[in-house]
A and B are shown apart, each in its own frame.
Chain A
Amino acid sequence: MTDVVAVDGLVKSFGRTRALDGLDLHVAAGEVHGFLGPNGAGKSTTIRVLLGLLRSDEGAVRLLGGDPWADAVALHRRLAYVPGDVTLWPNLTGGESIDLLGRLRGGLDPVRRDDLVARFELDPRVKGRAYSKGNRQKVALVAALAADVELLLMDEPTSGLDPLMEALFQEVVREAAAQGRTVLLSSHVLAQVEALAGRVTIIRAGRAVASGSLDELRGLTRTAVVAGVRDAPGAQAALAGLAGVHHVTVDDEHVTLDVASDALDAVLAALPAYGVRSLVAHPPTLEDLFLREYSDELATLRVPEGDR
């Protein structure tokens, strides 16, 4: 299966600023791919290069097997885009904007359009200038999701949506994925990406610093284990000597430690000798993975270790 999005060594500079500095990004057909990174990391620039709105300086970029700059129009028939900050035509209603975007695409599915308008509880008769941030976002979501396309490029699509609409968004993206569509989802809502995405790419200063399925990424990091044991000091002494075990601390009858995934077997084998009464192990959340990639920046932001 070929990749729907294949970006290798992408470089894009604005004047002296190197927004993308050798970015790699691969999205397979049919997957929901999370695209993570803080503000200014280059997520929007990447998506705008994929849309052919910006021209790449260096590197190979293929989208649905075509060149996003040269084949923009042909590719755009097969994809839809939701920007993170939607600006609507102030004197057009939301409904008019949706239908305009649809006609310029060559037609929307009217049933799906009306269904989405109803589900997102959007009043399509309001003028663009009068919509709140979240409602502008809904207009773009309806226009994109009502289109019959293979690929959805979403750049922080739910900014400004309330938690109910966030839940509905996740439902709608799952439906799209179930229909075989590919989704590239750039987002700051890590729980959303964790719920939807099979694979993620984390970027930093214009480069991908981690990429893979959530399980693969979790394998690269440590599981936090808290064990209630009868002989806590003994357990501490034994576990601290194992390879791949870090930060072993004791608190009354609990041992707390971070374990690399390949050391879990050894830890589980060692524990019964000290009388296990309770055991909690939680794999790293996407938030942990993300923050690990940015641990040095957190230090400069003076966020204390315990809050990470």
Chain B
Amino acid sequence: MTTSVAPVRAVAARDGVLVGWRGLLRLALRADRFRIVVWAVAVAWLVLASVRAFDSLYVDAAARQARADLIRSPAATALAGPGFGLDDYTIGAMTANELGLWIMIPVAIMAVLAVTRHLRAPEEDGRSELVRSQPVGRDAPVVAGLLAAAVAVGAVGGATFVLLLATDLDPAGSALLCASVVVVGLVLAGVSAVAAQVAGTARGASALGLAAIGVGVVLRAVGDARGPRSTSVLTWLSPFGWSQATAPYVLDRWWPLLVGLAVTVVLVGLAFALVARRDHGSGLLPGRVGRAHGRLGTLVGLAWRRQRTSLVAWSVAIVLTALLVGSVAGSVADFVESDSAIAELFPAGSSGAVASATAMYTAFLAVLAAACAGTVLGAARGEEDAGRVGHLLALPVPRTRWLLAQVGLAALVVVVTMLVAGLVMGAAADLTLDDGRWVGRLVAAAAVQSVGALVVLGVAVVVLGWAPRWYGVVWAYVAYTGVATMFGAILPDGTDTLAPFAALPQLPAQPMDWPPVLVALVLAVLLTALGLVGFRRRDLTT
């Protein structure tokens, strides 16, 4: 032998599994930079806006106490918090009790998705094979993914804390509240890191992580409903339970966060232990074998099969929101009747207050339904870019039929979800108000507002048909209709001109007015037809 191979230096072997994590972290943060900013600003701004709304709605102790009595019920507790400080319900106690969970859930979702995105998804599209062939250790992606998620979670917590300084709330309590949110995010990042080792696919890993969030939310809901002020064992099995047990602004205790941090450490350790036991690109759970022969044979069936998880999630979220709104209708009525100052604001009485609240929420749900429709066509756009639409159109499948299948699925999901949401909201309102007229009213309201979502769907079809590379415009338009619909009253006149939901009659607060509904319906059909014409004329993008 004339040449010899230099032995691998022992030092390299020792720190091998972690080598390269800094580079991967920089890569992850660069990929996520806009996402992190958007999440942080959106969450912090919504928290600030909600606290301001509490401030202006509940100016005196009597009003706040009425609110406390309302939130004490098990149904409200399940959707709020453990109920610290209900006897002296300050704005701070209200913020922690009613808002805390709703900051924690999105942050937890963000953490789960961030970890899967950086840990597991690159293994599926082959990126991490290139990366791992470099001098990069086996554990480096885990470290980078977890730290990227931690940075994102920390950014949301930090931004929220900074904006909360602009309120009258005690900064110490705000710091604890934000720290509690961050700890939930860290725990779920740890859960997701374990899930990424166990699940067979990146999608499966995300699903496991999101399921863990669902289980955590349910455990604390049942626990807090059984034992107020975090006294139930079930509450202490949930990351949300630990973080809510800190009771910011009331008891201001930091120690429950230690539970969350300890669990995070255990989960991260478990993830590192598991990563050494699995093959690159597969999980510890064996991949399942599917059908050798398919039963799928229609375009609508294919679109549904591709998107059913997302569509079911959207529909369930919309219907659950409707249930929540309907079930507090009784409380709204009681609240208005209990306070003469507020009652004066509603000349039509408590029934008028319920009508305007349900009308507003129905429009809000229609905006969500429009966003859901946007995801269906966005997925269709993704299928085209991936080359799968070309595959289908090389068969005897007319372009019109393919696009109509996507549009039809979206329209069907929008209309059915809205009608079910109206029915559920109405039934819940009827139960709590001991009235029998709300089902009819709210189903009609949902039907009218769903036409607005169909107009948005039409706009999406036009963009897909004529300028598919500009599909982002659809999301800008959905966001615009949302803001214009929800805040149209306080925005300058004319801002909501292009928002279909604002132009439609706001049932049941306003009387039915057929012309705008029919115009919107015709517009939706015309926009869809226009989009079809464009799609028939253009080249496929790939």
| A contacts, CB < 8 Å to B | 48, 51-55, 72-74, 76-77, 80-81, 83, 85-89, 91-93, 95-101, 103-106, 124-127, 129-130, 140, 153
Query: When A53-B394, A76-B394, A92-B305 are in contact, do A98 and B294 touch as well, CB less than 8 Å?
Result: yes
Contact call B290/A72, Cβ cutoff below 8 A: no
Contact call A91/B305, Cβ cutoff below 8 A: yes
Contact call B302/A101, Cβ cutoff below 8 A: no
Contact call A74/B396, Cβ cutoff below 8 A: yes
Let me know if B6 is at the binding interface, CB within 8 A. Answer: no
Partner of B294, one of A53, A81, A85, A100: A100
Partner of A76, one of B305, B396, B538: B396
Residue of B nearest to A55 (CB): B539
Residue of A nearest to B301 (CB): A100
11 A-B pairs within 8 Å (CB atoms) are namely A53-B540, A77-B396, A80-B394, A83-B390, A92-B290, A96-B290, A99-B295, A99-B296, A104-B392, A104-B395, A125-B291
Contact call A93/B539, Cβ cutoff below 8 A: no
Q: How many A-B residue pairs have CB under 8 A?
A: 110
In the assembled complex, which residues on chain B have CB atoms less than 8 Å from the CB atom of A53? 390, 393-394, 539-540
Q: Provide the bound-state CA to CA distance between A81 and B391, in Å.
A: 8
Let me know if B324 is at the binding interface, CB within 8 A. Answer: no
Q: Provide the bound-state CA to CA distance between A50 and B537, in Å.
A: 15
Which chain B residues (99-140) contact chain A, with CB distance < 8 Å?
124
In the assembled complex, which residues on chain A have CB atoms less than 8 Å from the CB atom of B295? 96, 99
Chain A nearest CB, measured from B308 CB (Å) = 10
Query: When A92-B305, A130-B287 are in contact, do A105 and B396 touch as well, CB less than 8 Å?
Result: yes
Q: Provide the bound-state CA to CA distance between A86 and B295, in Å.
A: 21
Q: Provide the bound-state CA to CA distance between A166 and B60, in Å.
A: 82
Let me know if B387 is at the binding interface, CB within 8 A. Answer: yes
Partner of B393, one of A72, A97, A125: A72
Interface 0/1 of B376-388, CB less than 8 Å to A: 0000000000111
Interface size of B in residues (CB-CB distance below 8 Å): 35
Let me know if B299 is at the binding interface, CB within 8 A. Answer: yes
Contact call A52/B391, Cβ cutoff below 8 A: no
Partner of A83, one of B289, B293, B298, B387: B387
Partner of A99, one of B297, B388, B396, B540: B297
Residue of B nearest to A124 (CB): B292
Let me know if B398 is at the binding interface, CB within 8 A. Answer: yes
In the assembled complex, which residues on chain B have CB atoms less than 8 Å from the CB atom of A80? 394
Q: Provide the bound-state CA to CA distance between A52 and B402, in Å.
A: 15
Sorted nearest first, the 4 A-B pairs with minimum C-beta distance are A96-B294, A103-B297, A93-B290, A99-B294
In the assembled complex, which residues on chain A have CB atoms less than 8 Å from the CB atom of B35? none
Contact call B294/A92, Cβ cutoff below 8 A: yes
Contact call B390/A48, Cβ cutoff below 8 A: yes
With A95-B290, A99-B295, A99-B297 already in contact, 8 other A-B pairs whose C-beta atoms are closer than 8 Å: A76-B394, A83-B390, A92-B296, A95-B291, A99-B296, A101-B392, A127-B287, A130-B287
In the assembled complex, which residues on chain A have CB atoms less than 8 Å from the CB atom of B390? 48, 51, 53, 83
Chain A nearest CB, measured from B158 CB (Å) = 37
In the assembled complex, which residues on chain B have CB atoms less than 8 Å from the CB atom of A97? 294
Q: Provide the bound-state CA to CA distance between A81 and B396, in Å.
A: 11
Partner of B302, one of A74, A86, A89, A98: A89
Let me know if B30 is at the binding interface, CB within 8 A. Answer: no
Let me know if B201 is at the binding interface, CB within 8 A. Answer: yes
Contact call A101/B291, Cβ cutoff below 8 A: no
